[in-house]
Amino acid sequence: MAIDSQIWHQHALANRIQSLLLLVAMVSFLSLLGWVLWGVDGIFWLLLLGFVLLLFNPVSSPWLIMRMYRATRLTSVKAPTLDSTLRELAHRAGLHRVPELFYVPSPMVNAFTVGSRNEAVIAVTDGLLRSLDTRETVGVLAHEVSHIRNNDMWVMGMADLFSRLTSLLSLLGQFLLLLNLPLIVMSNVSINWFAILLLIFAPNLSALAQLGLSRTREYEADLSAARLTGDPEGLANALVKIEQRSGSLLERLFLPGRRIPEPSLLRTHPPTKERVRRLMALKPPIAEPLSFIRRERGFLQDDAPVYLVSRRPRWHVTGLWH
């Protein structure tokens, strides 16, 4: 049975339109702040500044980030099955360069991507490799490869840049307003309350747009991963298992969902239930599934682990939690 291509294209189109609208909203907030502070010229100069910063926006070195996590590179010798899986997924995704794969010695069930499209690193934790079977791990790797193919690191970096500029200009505007408040009161000048409210709430609105964009890119990566593997159910099972195993045993028993922000607007990731629903609506497979994804054994039965991790996740002085 093939994936329903019509449903896939409908979801993909909706995700792209939402991403575009959210980026436009963030640029609009920045333009409005420029207009409030400096008029029409402010709009022009702020957009020009944003464009220049985008061109020279520094990207954190993925190797430095891996060092902060005390991660170890997984080569074809250390992890032949993982390495061959990633190469096949990168080939299917049309990537010119296979991402580097790193092992994070942490019991957290997690995987993430850093870097750029031409210099990407995928990190998988010990907890993820021990918790998921091979089929589920392939789905997670495909999800991360999809982020690289979709250039989501750059998109989210751009959104973060506009959000930071909006917050900086809002603070500047509020500071200038406080400085001039005595003059405004003594001169009986009418106050533009719209401008004041914009200065106060623009950073919050921009942050919400950024969170919305993050959720939309996650949906897009899920859909792309399903096409890469031809097995949306594998990723769906992985998402459920990752959510179930997040937090301690006591949290899972007595405080389920404690780490999930409410309302849903404050989530950086979409609700797992909705992600699973979208994936299961696709119906496998559209492509020839990877030859080994139906095995039940996990990767760590095939690829020897680098470390044996038994400690709980903790906060580090670098600001990282793993």
| Rounded Cα gap, residues 41 and 104, in angstroms | 49
Which of 112, 115, 109, 123 lies closest to 62 in space, CA to CA?
115
HEC states along 54-68?
HHCCCCCCHHHHHHH
- What gap in Å lies between CA 270 and CA 268, rounded to an integer? 7
Residue with tokens 């973060």: 160
Annotated active-site residue 144? The verdict is yes
β pairing state of 111-116 and 100-104: unpaired
**Neighbouring C-beta atoms of residue 134, cutoff 10 Å:** 23
DSSP string spanning 199-245? HHHHHHHHHHHHHHHHHHHHHHHHHHHHHHHS-HHHHHHHHHHHHHT
Within 10 A of 160 (CB to CB), how many other CB atoms are there? 16
Residues forming a β-bridge with 112: 123
Determine the distance from the C-alpha atom of residue 316 to the mean position of all C-alpha atoms in its chain, rounded to a whole number: 21
Q: Which of 88, 100, 136, 144 is catalytic?
A: 144
Amino acid letter, 280: M
Q: Report, as residue numbers or ranges, the catalytic residues.
A: 144
